Structure 1
Amino acid sequence: MKTTTYFSILLLLIGAFAQAQSTPKEYQLPGKGLKQHDFVYVGEWDMRKPKAQSMFVVRDGKVVWQYSIPMRTATGGIQEFDDATMLPNGNIVYACMSGAGIVTPEKNLIWQYICAPGTETHSCQPIGKDSVLMVLNGTVGKVLIFNTATNTLLKEIVIPTASTSSHGQFRHVRWTQNKTIMVGLFAEKKVVEFDLDGKALWSVEAPSAWSAIRLHNGNTLISGDGLGYTREVNPKGETVWEFTRADAPFTIGNTQTANRLANGNTVICNWIAGNNKTEEWAGTVQVFEVTKDKKVVWALSSWENPDLGPATYIQLLDEPDNAENGELQR
């Protein structure tokens, strides 16, 4: 009797464990997969592919353009795509840790910034015709504004932070329509809005903030990276909306960036490469779209045919705002 009881309990435990382990694989992905949106897609640190860190353009459910660089520069520096924005003319502004650039649809590099030793960049955003805003991590963290047509440095803004680590200061820095800049400070565990003289205008507590964007409604949307949250706060710093790991029907790794769409939905990049066991990446969700009431209406998992790799940033090409002027909520 006891043997039968123990055996029954053991079977129940094994079944429960198997069900828990298989749930992510069995999750029915909502939406139309690659056909849900046209988009530009990049992801950092795809350690499976040391010779080809890639950015992709997907239209009508197919990869129509791909641009690749090796993970290491000739001098040993790391290259990984952290940011990418397609302009109306088809050119793409990007950051790749060891530098930034603009590449044409014909894959010609028409502007390039190469980081000096001891510095790195993780964001480069167009903010007007021939103008880009990029972050420069280093002993002294900075934001740089360039005229890319003349390769002229227009503005250098020192960002006060306690961190002197080139990798531990900031990630995405974003322009606002009020001509201020939003910066997530890792060391200070907060998001700060600075003017173009480096003066702090507004701040909110936000640990592990990888990215922060000022929305059209005046609120700020924050991506919490390793803490796995996406949080909207109002000007008073109060949380008015949040999506966390507990809200997701699938595994959330690092939430690095988010887009707020014109319809009010939020698209979140779920970077999974913090898990060094690359064999566990397949089947995980890379990007997903949620409504205001936290319903997941699109979840993308594309690890083969095509293998898009880890997700750091996505630009949806069906959004109405002008990417060249920094109007997109991303």
Structure 2
Amino acid sequence: MINFLAFKRPVIRFVLSLTLISTAVSAQDVKPIAPAVLPGQGLKQYDFFYAGEAPTRNMYIVRGGKIAWKYIDSTGRGEISDAILMANGNILFAHQYGITLINSDKKVLWQYNAPEGAETHTAQLIGTDRVVFVQNGNPAKVLVINIKTDSVEKQFNIPFKSGTHGQIRHARLTAQGTLMIAHMDLGKVNEYDTDGNILLSLDVPSVWSAVPLKSGNILVASNQNFVKEITRNGYAVWEVQLKDIPGYKLTDPQIAQKLPNGNFLINNWFNSWEKKLDKTNPPVQAIELTPGRKVVWALRSWELGPSTTIQLLNDPNNITEKAFFGEFK
């Protein structure tokens, strides 16, 4: 009688050996997407406010290297594309299907719900009484709302060419009281006055954000994986292609800012709808680059989730407290 088990056991052992070897080789083939030891002091590098586009709407304040405050919303709708912490502790955030103002106790002070078919991804306070925001839709428009009376005090249409979701993610008031809008679908940065007149228009392919700088220049981040500081004539005085930074895989810059020390802080967003985070090889959420493009700080603290915006506390370049839009102050 033939003992078939005697043949099966060696075959099983052989197959298991091949599987283990294959797994080991695959693990060795996985290229790290960031250094094991990062430059800087991690969460202790700065005190900052943090939020990012994700399936849950979470925000954090980090002080002294620890999470000092957090807001967690896992039951609502939409994504946080923009959030600003004010000096009084209030936070205004745009979350795709609306805009909400809360205080440090997380009490809702004011809320706007976008109409059906529209989206709101960016907003900014004007003083304590008004909010200016962009509403994606057909048509796309800018609105100024008095949050005390809940009345629309100004609105005008702006150009668009894509469907609602792909139109605009970011806008900021300038020190001159105009509104700088990053038209992602148009590939343009446009500056508007309160009557909707276009004062400036610059070509920036797939632009996600446009931050007006103290110098008058504009810091732009693009879905084409670059960040540039450009003049009002469109000339690049500084730029970086994120794929060229050695040792890091950086794929999705959304908002960049220029720090008081002259360095550049760039977030690296992670799409948690389409990808699963590999906790054994996670990407960094942000990097700080010198003008010479050296990484001097990298953030990798995934208890904070994906990164869209990082606002340094006590940043002297922050003009949000003094923001105005034309006659609205």
State if a TM-score over 0.5 links the two structures.
yes
CA distance in 1, matches of 2:37, 2:28: 15
CA contact (8 A) 1:129 1:325 kept: no
Question: How big is each residue's C-alpha offset from its partner over 1:35-73, in whole Å with a ceiling of 9 and x where there is no partner?
Answer: 111111111124xxxxx42111111111111112235x4
CA contact (8 A) 1:262 1:319 kept: yes
Corresponding position of 1:219: 217
**What is the deviation of 1:181?**
1.2
Corresponding position of 1:49: none
CA distance in 1, matches of 2:28, 2:199: 50
CA contact (8 A) 2:177 2:323 kept: no
CA distance in 2, matches of 1:323, 1:193: 17
CA contact (8 A) 1:175 1:326 kept: yes
Distance 1:199 1:20, change over 3 A: farther
With structure 2 as the length reference, what TM-score do the two structures score?
0.84
Quick one: which amino acid aligns to residue 286 of structure 1? Q
Matches within 5 A, 1:21-170: 21-46=30-55, 52-70=56-74, 73=76, 78-163=77-162, 165-170=163-168
CA distance in 1, matches of 2:106, 2:33: 37
Is 1:229–2:226 an aligned residue pair? yes
**What is the deviation of 1:16?**
11
CA contact (8 A) 1:70 1:79 kept: no
Gap runs ≥5 in structure 2: 1-23, 325-329
Partner of 1:203: helix, strand, or coil?
strand
Instruction: Mark the structure with the bigger radius of gyration.
Output: 2
Selected match of 2:308 from 302, 307, 312: 312
Question: How big is each residue's C-alpha offset from its partner over 1:117-169, in whole Å with a ceiling of 9 and x where there is no partner?
Answer: 10011111123232222111111001112222332322112112233x21121
Corresponding position of 2:193: 195
CA distance in 1, matches of 2:143, 2:29: 48
Corresponding position of 2:17: none
Quick one: which amino acid aligns to residue 276 of structure 1? E
With 262-271 and 279-288 compared, the bigger mean Cα shift is at: 279-288
Quick one: which amino acid aligns to residue 67 of structure 2? V
**What is the deviation of 1:322?**
4.2
Is 1:186–2:199 an aligned residue pair? no
Quick one: which amino acid aligns to residue 101 of structure 2? I
CA distance in 2, matches of 1:19, 1:135: 47
**What is the deviation of 1:238?**
1.0
Corresponding position of 1:10: none
Partner of 2:321: helix, strand, or coil?
helix
CA contact (8 A) 1:87 1:323 kept: yes
**What is the deviation of 1:318?**
2.8
With 274-283 and 263-272 compared, the bigger mean Cα shift is at: 274-283
**What is the deviation of 1:274?**
6.4
Distance 1:58 1:24, change over 3 A: same
Selected match of 2:262 from 249, 261, 264: 264
CA contact (8 A) 2:186 2:206 kept: no
Question: How big is each residue's C-alpha offset from its partner over 1:169-224, in whole Å with a ceiling of 9 and x where there is no partner?
Answer: 11111111111111122332121112221111111111111110111111111110
CA distance in 1, matches of 2:192, 2:26: 49
Quick one: which amino acid aligns to residue 65 of structure 1? W
Identity of aligned residues (%): 40
CA distance in 2, matches of 1:119, 1:271: 24
Partner of 2:119: helix, strand, or coil?
coil
Selected match of 1:246 from 243, 247, 254: 243
CA contact (8 A) 1:132 1:147 kept: yes
Gap runs ≥5 in structure 1: 1-14, 47-51
Corresponding position of 2:275: 277
Distance 1:188 1:18, change over 3 A: same
Distance 1:17 1:192, change over 3 A: farther
CA distance in 2, matches of 1:260, 1:187: 25
Partner of 1:79: helix, strand, or coil?
coil
Alpha-carbon RMSD: 2.3
CA contact (8 A) 1:265 1:291 kept: yes
Partner of 1:122: helix, strand, or coil?
strand
CA contact (8 A) 1:194 1:200 kept: yes
Moved over 6 A (4+): 15-20
Quick one: which amino acid aligns to residue 313 of structure 2? L
Distance 1:104 1:156, change over 3 A: same
